[in-house]
Structure 1
Amino acid sequence: MTEREQEILQLLRQDPLIPQQELADQLSISRSAVAGHIMKLMQKGHILGKGYILADTPYVVLLGGANMDIRGSTSNSLRQGDSNPGRVSCSPGGVARNIAENLARLGADCRLISAVGDDLYGRALLESTQRAGVDVRPVLLLPDAATSTYLSLHGPDGDMAIAINDMEILARLDAARLAPQRELVRHAGLIMADANLSAEALAWLFAEAGDTPVFIDTVSAFKAERIRPWLGQIHTLKPNRLEAATLSGLPLDQASHAPAVANWFHQQGVVQVALSLAGDGVYYSSAAAQGWSPAPAVEIINTTGAGDALMAGLAWGWLQQQALDETVRFAQACAALTLGCTATNNPTLSLAAVQHMCTTLQYAEQS
């Protein structure tokens, strides 16, 4: 699905009776161009007939961080206590927001629940996220708070050396402010949340989720502790090496440790586990399948956002009812596209691009 088709589909979801001329006016294109895009959406099965009857597909609700990423990088070794020459850039970020953007670019119907300030960063985040095809109407716009920011420094290998996050605004996303979104959450086909949420927000979410599968991104070893009480209600979990070791209390410094760690999570009630182990690849595990998917051999330009793209791929695969091993390979292709991009989210990511990447990736040998 093209970006323009995503924009039109998003507007049709908000108002299925909107006239074509109004669509054209909102998008600053001609009415005939709108008609052409709608015809293509019908051919692809997203619109079922006249009156903009939309295909009955499950939507995804995403809850968690939405922030502006400020990235500093240098081609030289980082020198502590000194000024390092390099480049500084800003791009939309936040774990839940990033996953939502990637999923929307793949063609999923996504609704984001987060909080931003009524400031320059907040308005820019809402505009860019909506432009990517995400429904941002549930996002709280708070005039008395600052939008979250994430500041990261990267050395010549592209890996993050250190980061600072200012996400105080998410503490305002409490049970009382989440309550108006109860029906949105209850009727979702899939719920995706990150551990940036407060303990109160997580408790509210799991109380409202019912039988809807909940995917959790652990975010960091520190924040991963917040999900410990809810492990028995999590469908899919994607921790990295440090996060998984912190939660399980088991060693994970060698690839051979992965099955025992995954089994520990299953004993707690987690249905699917995808251990993201950098150069060792992904160890995936469920009742139906367990195994390794080696790390793709790709040039790394920027590591920020790759884990979020991986999580989006896992969610997409589940929505398409793919087998877990196939889903993991698809998710790794999403991450590979993001690793090769300077921005936190690759603007060229699409279903077609990921499918093509799946056919061209070379994989490193499992150690």
Structure 2
Amino acid sequence: MTNRERQLLQLLQTNPLISQQELAEALGISRSAVATHLTNLTAKGAIKGRGYILSERRYSVVIGGANMDILGTPGQALTPGSSTPGTVSYSPGGVGRNIAENLARLGEDCYLIAPVGDDHSGRQLTELSSQAGIDTSQMVTIPGHATSSYLSLVDEQGEMQQAIADMAILDAFGPDYLRKHLGLLARAELLVLDTNLKNSTLECLFGQLPEQRFFVDCVSSSKAPKIRPFLSRIHTLKPNLAEAEAISGIHADPADISDSALQALAQWFHREGVERLFISLASEGLFYSHRSGESCRQRLNCHTVINSNGAGDALMAALCHSWLQQMPADKTCRFALAAANLALASQTTINPEMSRLNVAQLLSESM
């Protein structure tokens, strides 16, 4: 398939009802050239029937934050009020972007829709994301805004101590930037959202896509409450205990994480309409509950912790992958935990060794 044909397919995926003249204007070619490309694509089986009905292709779309991560790792115990020898590394990050890359590394076709600035960081972020296997053709460039950045400091055990997030560009990423993508979003197998999105953007997505399956990552206890008005629309929700408490208002005591306490908390979410709930319990594993009454809890020992920043993003991506692969609940939990553990063992936020094969290998070693 030629580059021009790929460009044409991307436009058709975004808007299957687009006219040949509109395609010609978007691509800067003649209408007769468009007609020739459409004929070739039909012959190749990429388009079937009239009205530009595309051949079936399963894909997911992630909408959320994308930023450059700046990570400080000390070589010894941190000394308050003083500098500590260590390393500083740079890598692409952002909750939504990280989920998309993990999904791509797990073998899923995945689009990322996220805002970046018209700056070096934005171009670098888009290029590195594309190299990692993410389809970045729908990324949104917002002139006059700096690409988001996330500065974090971990301790000698790899646990995050402090972080600063510069994500002002997300305040400019409103519904107007998403409406042209609605055709693509409606045909996705699932949509993944993170709560970095502002309220009006969330309202647009939930309001304009009534039949879509939404998977939501809560990001943090300060941002998680944004999702409360939309709980009845959420297929899969992944909070940790603090985020679950922030959304529900129900005190979640970390000292009492018995199955009965977790089930009582889960029932609140199910009454609000959430179909599937996965509560991340850090080193204590993962609790799953379905509104039908099914529940389970799994735990895997993690032997290597270098950087905890990307574990939750890997876990969320693995939950999406498991659903796409129709895994049962117990296998889903174990696969997601193994993916999180693989992420913990990497210096970078995304483990470059993330793959279905390596997650399965880690699982087999833990049994």
Name the TM tier (shorter chain): 0.7 to 0.9
Paired with 1:340 and 1:209, the residues of 2 have a C-alpha distance of 37
Q: What's 1:329 paired with?
A: 334
Aligned to 2:311: 306
1:11–1:328 CA distance, 2 compared to 1 (3 A): farther
Query: Hey, what's the Cα distance between the residues in 1 that align with 2:263 and 2:171?
Result: 35
Paired residue for 1:259? 263
Instruction: Please state how far the C-alpha of 1:11 moved relative to its aligned partner.
Output: 10
Distance 1:52 1:124, change over 3 A: farther
Moved over 4 A (4+): 10-16, 52-55
Change (3 A) 1:97 1:78: same
Higher Cα Rg, which structure: 2
Alignment partner, residue 197 of structure 2: 197
Matched residue pairs, number? 323
Measure the CA separation in 2 of the matches of 1:66 and 1:297: 28
**Cα deviation digits, residues 235-293 of structure 1 (max 9, x gap):** 10111121112212223212112221111111111100110011111011112620110
The structural deviation recorded for 1:209 is 2.2
Counterpart contact for 1:313–1:334, Cα < 8 Å? yes
Letter in structure 2 aligned against 1:356: Q
Within a 5 Å distance, the mapping from 1:212-227 to structure 2 comes to: 212-227=212-227
Q: Aligned residue for 1:27? A: none
Where do 1:13-52 residues align within 5 Å? 51=44
2:62 match: 62
Structure 1 counterpart SS, 2:91: strand
* 2:86 is aligned with 1:86: yes
Query: Which of 344, 350, 353 is 1:339 aligned to?
Result: 344
Q: Name the % identity.
A: 44
How far did residue 13 of structure 1 move? 6.0
**CA contact 1:278–1:295 (8 Å) conserved in 2:** no
Q: Structure 1 residue 84: deviation in Å?
A: 2.2
Q: CA deviation at 1:132?
A: 1.5
Q: CA deviation at 1:73?
A: 1.4
202-211 or 79-88: bigger deviation: 79-88
Q: Quick one: structure 1 residues 52 and 168, their matched pair in 2 at CA, closer, same or farther if it must change by over 3 Å?
A: same
Q: Do residues 107 (structure 1) and 107 (structure 2) align?
A: yes
After superposition, the Cα gap between the structure-2 partners of 1:154 and 1:197, relative to the gap in structure 1 and judged at 3 Å, is same
Question: For the residues of structure 1 that align with 2:100 and 2:218, how far apart are their CA atoms?
Answer: 16
Structure 2: unaligned runs, 5 residues or longer = 10-42, 47-53
Segments of 5+ residues of structure 1 without an aligned counterpart are 1-7, 17-49, 363-367
Q: Aligned residue for 2:138?
A: 138
Within 2, Cα distance between the matches of 1:11 and 1:59?
Answer: 21
Letter in 1 for 2:273: G
Do the aligned partners of residues 172 and 325 (structure 1) sit closer, same or farther apart at CA in structure 2, a change above 3 Å counting? Answer: same
Q: TM-score, normalised by structure 1?
A: 0.83
What TM-score results when the alignment is normalised by the length of structure 2? 0.83
Amino acid at match of 1:51: K
* Aligned mates of 2:157, 2:6 — CA distance in 1: 42
Instruction: Give the superposition deviation at 1:79.
Output: 2.7
d(CA) in 1 for partners of 2:235, 2:221: 19
* Equivalent in 277, 282, 299 of residue 281 of structure 2: 277
Counterpart position of 1:268: 272
Taking the aligned partners of 1:55 and 1:323, their CA distance within structure 2 comes to 29
In structure 2, how many angstroms separate the alpha carbons of the residues matched to 1:209 and 1:167?
A: 26
Structure-2 change in CA distance of 1:181 and 1:346 (3 Å): same
Mapped to 2, the partners of 1:303 and 1:297 lie a distance apart of: 11
Alpha-carbon offset, residue 298 of structure 1 = 2.4
Separation (CA, whole Å) in 2 of partners of 1:210 and 1:246: 26
CA distance in 1, matches of 2:195, 2:5: 32
